[in-house]
Chains A and B, each alone.
Chain A
Amino acid sequence: MPGVNDVNNNMGFKMIKIYFSMFIKTFFIQALWNYERLQNVGFLFILKPFLCKVYSDDDKRKEAFLRHMGFFNTHPYMASLIIAIVANMEKELSKCKRGGKKSDVNSVKNIMEGPLAAIGDSFFGGTLRYLVAFVSIFILFLFVNLFGNKFIAYNFWIPLVFIFFYNVVHIPVRFLLMFMGFKFNMEKNIFLLSSFKFMFLGKILYCSEVIVVIGALILYFKFLFFGSLNTRLFGNDVCDILIYSVLFVLSIFVSWKFSAVFLFYSTIFVCVGISCLGI
């Protein structure tokens, strides 16, 4: 007959398995993204093994499932934290014999999804992705300048650098947020989040990004005017420098007023126009 410790160990092992499956499922949170309730099915898909485990009563379980069919939308990476906090709350609710405060669960979801989406969008979408993409582009121009046409031997590293540096931040953040959500209560999590210097980190990344972009721009101009590209596109050095500089400044203003598609097609149109004039 198994002892109390064996039963506890088995329970603990099963819960770890459930937590791990929940973490893997977070990668599919947007799999059934819909216009009406956005990520609701994805949220329920992640929470499903946990709800099935903690609710033994059929009616209570059904109530819990239907509670999470409502609207849910946040940044997919930051959702891990909300899921873990909600799971903890559901665990507490399942232990309450009188039902507990069920509305609190949805309130917590509603309160947290907006701010976390804003943090996720500005940190991952607006800073980290830009930075990592430009580190790759910087390396590309560095290789072009260093090795000329021989950079072909090293070029396959560049996309791998992009994927590696992005995911080496993204996957641990997802894991840590889920771990934090399960480990601590809601107040502690909010305290930890608010004490984390997102703004400071964002500013550091932003500054690095500016440096990397300016570095890449300098390397690109070095390649165009002093590198392996011997032929001048527009006749002579002065004409080339003038056209490149004007186009660079113009593209900043075009981006301000128009879309990326307009910028793209207008550049093509200008290039064809210049060629038509025989320059």
Chain B
Amino acid sequence: MTSFISGNTIFLAFISTLCSADVITMGQFMIYRPIFCAPLLGFFMGDVSIGLWIGMIVEMIWINAAPIGIAVPIDVSILGILSTFWMCKYFKGLHEAAIWGLVLAVPFAYLYRLVDIFGRDFNTKLMHWIERRVQNGEYRYINIGIFVGVFFFIVKTFLFYVFSMIVGGWIYRFIYLELPTFVLKGFQKAWYLLPVCGFGMVMFNFRKIKRLFKH
């Protein structure tokens, strides 16, 4: 059963989509945070520990990456999910492979940010369509609009995950096998050094929170 799930990219892409939908579309239960979604993927792929460590690194370094107002930061769930997926699928248990996954996941997170902005623009058009319907007294189109918005989000995120898990996986595996030894050794060191940087980022953020409460 575990091998069937870990090999089933479509299923894992769907689970990842549900996690990413939590960012704004539904709930905000924080299942999109990497400390939860990376171990979740790790659980399905048979290695919770590595997923947890990746999630912890991403959570600390990108601790202040949350959509506030009109700001659209990179989706941190993508970083945790993609790196855990690639590592567990191709080089299970290797710390350097997990760090290489993180290195490669950042450009994918930026790519997704563009897709997300496109989706929010599409929502504006949908909102105008709903407004015209409401002017005609057709209120059921509010529900239909919300359903279409959620559906469109899920479809675009799902397709993105399928694309990045498969195409990104090829790139990931191909480049990793060509990496020189000293780079891999550097990644091994980064596995233990990145949490230290995460603590540095958190210490810096304390200053910002304190300023928030002063006002």
Contact A264 B30 (CB under 8 A): no
**CB-CB nearest in chain B for A220:** B195
**CB-CB nearest in chain A for B70:** A35
Chain A residues with Cβ below 8 Å from B135 are 62, 66
**CB-CB nearest in chain A for B68:** A121
Contact B28 A27 (CB under 8 A): yes
- Interface residue A170 (Cβ < 8 Å from any Cβ of B): yes
- Interface residue B194 (Cβ < 8 Å from any Cβ of A): yes
Stretch at the interface among A40-48, A102-110, A179-187: A40-48
Contacting residue for A42 out of B121, B146, B187, B212, CB 8 A: B146
Contact A58 B137 (CB under 8 A): yes
Known: A45-B143, A122-B213, A271-B190. A35 touches B27 (CB 8 A): no
Stretch at the interface among A1-9, A10-18, A82-90, A149-157: A149-157
Contacting residue for B200 out of A28, A44, A48, A251, CB 8 A: A251
Known: A263-B61, A268-B99. A62 touches B124 (CB 8 A): no
Candidate in A66, A152, A199, A251 with the most chain B CB atoms within 10 angstroms: A251
Chain B residues with Cβ below 8 Å from A37 are 127
Stretch at the interface among B2-10, B34-42, B170-178: B34-42
Contact B192 A224 (CB under 8 A): yes
Chain A residues with Cβ below 8 Å from B210 are 206
Known: A35-B121, A163-B36. A137 touches B59 (CB 8 A): yes
Contacting residue for B212 out of A122, A134, A249, A254, CB 8 A: A122
Inter-chain CA distance A140–B57, complex, in Å, is 12
Chain A residues with Cβ below 8 Å from B35 are 133, 136-137, 158-159, 162
Inter-chain CA distance A36–B188, complex, in Å, is 46
- Interface residue B114 (Cβ < 8 Å from any Cβ of A): no
**CB-CB nearest in chain A for B40:** A159
Contact A251 B196 (CB under 8 A): yes
A residues engaging B (CB < 8 A)?
Answer: 27-28, 30-38, 40-42, 44-45, 48, 52, 58, 62, 65-66, 69, 73, 76-77, 117, 121-122, 125-127, 129-130, 133-134, 136-137, 140, 151-152, 155-156, 158-159, 162-163, 166-167, 170, 199, 202-203, 206, 209-210, 213, 216-217, 220, 224, 229, 233-234, 243-244, 247-252, 254-256, 260-261, 263-265, 267-268, 270-276, 278
What are 20 pairs between A and B in contact, CB < 8 Å?
A30-B24, A30-B28, A32-B123, A34-B120, A36-B124, A41-B126, A41-B127, A44-B142, A45-B146, A52-B139, A58-B137, A65-B139, A130-B63, A162-B30, A163-B31, A163-B36, A170-B30, A202-B213, A229-B192, A254-B200
B residues engaging A (CB < 8 A)?
Answer: 24-31, 33, 35-36, 39-40, 43, 48-49, 52, 55-56, 59-66, 68-70, 74, 99, 102-103, 106, 120-121, 123-124, 126-127, 130-131, 134-135, 137, 139, 142-143, 145-146, 149-150, 153, 182-183, 185-190, 192-197, 199-206, 208-210, 212-213
